[in-house]
Amino acid sequence: MNTRTFLFAGLAVALVIAAAAPFIASSNPDGLESAFFGIFGAKEIQGSEISEEHAEAAEEEVTAITGNEFSFDSPFPDYTIEGLAKYGEAAAIIIGTVLVLAIAFGLSRIMARPE
């Protein structure tokens, strides 16, 4: 298998995984954000309901403790494009995957230049 075929096969696999992920992933993941809200009492550790009032209070408490008020707007909040449901999630993940691969490819080309 030559290098070009290998790269295109890898790209195809990455895009298939990106497109399928929203449809097979858990709709109630238990990640860092979930653990944070569980620790600060905004939700039960094994539950899925988040108390918005407690969540806001937890974020304010951490901001007061750390002094970190930095925030920014995400181009794809919660990895989705509004109004497109699961297809919006798939599109956002595909766009992100293509961007990361393009950046990696560009950097590899720059770094591989002979001096």
What is the tens place of the pLDDT at every residue in 27-62?
Answer: 766 677 778 888 877 777 666 677 778 888 888 888
Give SS3 for 9: helix
CA distance 49 to 71: 24
Both tokens assigned to 108: 């590899």
Question: 29 to each of 23, 66, 67, how far by Cα in Å?
Answer: 13, 26, 28
Domain ranges of the chain: 1-26+76-115, 31-71
CA distance 67 to 70: 9
pTM of the predicted structure, to 2 decimals: 0.68
* Per-residue pLDDT at 29: 65
Q: Is 80 exceeded by the pLDDT of residue 97?
A: yes
Give SS3 for 80: coil
